[in-house]
C-alpha cells in the first residue's frame, strides 16, 4: 500500500485497544489527522489481558461440526472451558442458535476461507507497525505448541489435516521430541502439534503503549471520553459529529468504530442489527514461572494458553457468557490454575488474575466495512479470539476504505449486512 501525499482531513477512531491503536496508525500513514477516543486509557482494557499470541493458524471457527453434541456436556461439567451464567441463558439463546447454524461442514469451510484471507497477510501488516513504532524488541517469533493427551491423538491428526488444507505450517511432535523441546512438561502431554510461524508479544500492554507513543509522535491526539451517538454534522452534511457524554461534540470526516464488546448498541443506532455478544475471558499469572516454558503452549481441549511473557507465565483463556456487568467468577481463575498444573509443576499460587470481554460473533468473523445509515462510519470490531492477531490487518483495511482506496483484502465476507 502506497500512501498518498495529500492531507485527507480529520478521522476519529473510537476505541483505544490494540485494534483502535493499529487503525489510528494506519490512518496516519494515509495522511489523516487522527484523534483517538476512549473512556479508558489506551491498551488498558481487553487488549491488556490476552494470551500474548499472534494466532496466524486460527482459520477454524469456534462453531464446528458436532459442537451441538459437545456443548451440553461441557456446560454440565465442573471443570469445563465453557460456562454460561444461569441468568444469562435467555439473553444468549438467540446468539447460540445462530452459532449452531454456523457449525455445518459447508459453513465452517467457507468461514475458514474467509478467515484465512485475513490471517495470511496479518503479520506483514504487523511488521510494518512493529518497525515504525520500534517495537520489535517486544515480539518473539519462536512458534507455539498445541498439546494433546494420549487419548486425544485422533484430535491432533484431525487438526493437522484440517489446517494443512489451508497451507498452515504445522507438524506432529511425538512425546520424546516434545519433552526435549519443553522439558518442564509432564507425561500428560503425550504429543503436540508445532506451529513454527506463530509469534508472541512479551507484553501486550507495553506493545499498546509503544503504538500509542508512535501515534502521538506522528501528531495524533488521545481524548478521554465516552461516545454516546454519531450524527451528521449540522452545517456540513459530509462530515460527522460524535456526541460525547460530557456534552461535547467532535467533528470528523471519517469515524472508525473499534469499540469491541461495546459495539452492538452503537451499530444499531447506525442502522445495523449485529448479533454481537460477549465472551468473558480470564487469565492468571504465575510470576515466578516465566522461564518454565520456551514458547506458548495451548491445550485445546481445555481452552487455554500458557504463555511465557515479561511478567511471568500467563495462563489465559476459557469462555464464559455472562454479559458486561456481572462480577468475575472465581471458579474460572481456579480452573485456569488447575489446568496449568495438569501439565506443569507450579509450586506457587497465581500472583495476579484478570477478566476481560471478547466481542464475539456467531460466525467467528469480525465486522468490517461501512455502516448502513452513515457511510462515513467504518466498523472494525468483533474479532473474538483473534483481536491481537488481526488488529494490524483490519486497521489497514479500514484505513484504506476510509481513504477511498480498494482494500487489500476483499471485505464482502465481513460486512455487517451479512446478518440481515
Domains of the chain from N-terminus onward: 9-47+206-274+364-419 (3.50.50.60), 59-105+137-199+276-360 (3.30.9.10)
Q: What is the DSSP string of 102-163?
A: T-SHHHHHHHHHHHHHHHTTHHHHHHHHHHHHT-GGGEE---EEEEE-GGGHHHHHHHHHHH
DSSP state of 245: T
The number of angstroms, rounded, from the C-alpha of 85 to the middle of its chain's C-alpha atoms is 22
6-19 pLDDT per residue, tens: 788 999 999 999 99
Share of the chain above pLDDT 90, in %: 90
User: What pTM, to 2 d.p., does this model score?
Assistant: 0.96
What residues contact 391, with CB distance under 8 A and at least 6 apart?
Answer: 18, 19, 21, 22, 23, 126, 383
User: Using one digit for the tens of pLDDT, what is the confidence trace for 258-316?
Assistant: 999 999 999 999 999 999 999 999 999 999 999 999 999 999 999 999 999 999 999 99
Q: For residues 409 and 117, is the Cβ–Cβ distance under 8 A?
A: yes
The Cβ of residue 181 has, within 10 Å, a number of other Cβ atoms equal to: 17
Residues of the chain below pLDDT 50: 1-4
Name the one residue in this structure whose C-alpha cell is 507484553.
Answer: 203
Q: What is the pLDDT of residue 420?
A: 82
Question: What is residue 234's predicted lDDT score, i.e. its pLDDT?
Answer: 67
pLDDT of residue 233: 77
Q: Is the Cβ–Cβ distance between 307 and 52 less than 8 Å?
A: yes
Amino acid at each position: 500500500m502506497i500512501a498518498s501525499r495529500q492531507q485527507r482531513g480529520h478521522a476519529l477512531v473510537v476505541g483505544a485497544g490494540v485494534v483502535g491503536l493499529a487503525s489510528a496508525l494506519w490512518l496516519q500513514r494515509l495522511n489523516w489527522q487522527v484523534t483517538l477516543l476512549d473512556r479508558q486509557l489506551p491498551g488498558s482494557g481487553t487488549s491488556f489481558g490476552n494470551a500474548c499470541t499472534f494466532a496466524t493458524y486460527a482459520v477454524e471457527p469456534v462453531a464446528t461440526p458436532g459442537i451441538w453434541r459437545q456443548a451440553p456436556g461441557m456446560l454440565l461439567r465442573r471443570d469445563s472451558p465453557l460456562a454460561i451464567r444461569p441468568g444469562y441463558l435467555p439473553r444468549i439463546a438467540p446468539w447460540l442458535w445462530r452459532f449452531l447454524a454456523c457449525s455445518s461442514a459447508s459453513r465452517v469451510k467457507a468461514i475458514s476461507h474467509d478467515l484465512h484471507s485475513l490471517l495470511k497477510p496479518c503479520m506483514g501488516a504487523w511488521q510494518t507497525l512493529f518497525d515504525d513504532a520500534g517495537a520489535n524488541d517486544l515480539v518473539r517469533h519462536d512458534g507455539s505448541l498445541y498439546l494433546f493427551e494420549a487419548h486425544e491423538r485422533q484430535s491432533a491428526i484431525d487438526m493437522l489435516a484440517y489446517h494443512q488444507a489451508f497451507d498452515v505450517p504445522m507438524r506432529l511432535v511425538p512425546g520424546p521430541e516434545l519433552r526435549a523441546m519443553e522439558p518442564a512438561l509432564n507425561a500428560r502431554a503425550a504429543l503436540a502439534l508445532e506451529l513454527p510461524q506463530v509469534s508472541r508479544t512479551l507484553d501486550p500492554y507495553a506493545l499498546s503503549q509503544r503504538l500509542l507513543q508512535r501515534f502521538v509522535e506522528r501528531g495524533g491526539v488521545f481524548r478521554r471520553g465516552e461516545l454516546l451517538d454519531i450524527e451528521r454534522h449540522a452545517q456540513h452534511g459530509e462530515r460527522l459529529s460524535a456526541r460525547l457524554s460530557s456534552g461535547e461534540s467532535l467533528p470528523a470526516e471519517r469515524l472508525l468504530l473499534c469499540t469491541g464488546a461495546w459495539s452492538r448498541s452503537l451499530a444499531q443506532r447506525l442502522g445495523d442489527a449485529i448479533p454481537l455478544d460477549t465472551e468473558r475471558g480470564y487469565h492468571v499469572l504465575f510470576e515466578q514461572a516465566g522461564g518454565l516454558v520456551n514458547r506458548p503452549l495451548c491445550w485445546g481441549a481445555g481452552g487455554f494458553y500458557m504463555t511465557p511473557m515479561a511478567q511471568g507465565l500467563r495462563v489465559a483463556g476459557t469462555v464464559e457468557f455472562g454479559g458486561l456487568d456481572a462480577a468475575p467468577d472465581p471458579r474460572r481463575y481456579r480452573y485456569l490454575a488447575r489446568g496449568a498444573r495438569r501439565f506443569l509443576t507450579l509450586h506457587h499460587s497465581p500472583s495476579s488474575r484478570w477478566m476481560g470481554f471478547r466481542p464475539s460473533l456467531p460466525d467467528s468473523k469480525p465486522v468490517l466495512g461501512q455502516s448502513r445509515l452513515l457511510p462515513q462510519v467504518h466498523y472494525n470490531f468483533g474479532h473474538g479470539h483473534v483481536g491481537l492477531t488481526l488488529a494490524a490487518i483490519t486497521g489497514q483495511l479500514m484505513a484504506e476504505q476510509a481513504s477511498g482506496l480498494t482494500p487489500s483484502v476483499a471485505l464482502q465476507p465481513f460486512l455487517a449486512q451479512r446478518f440481515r
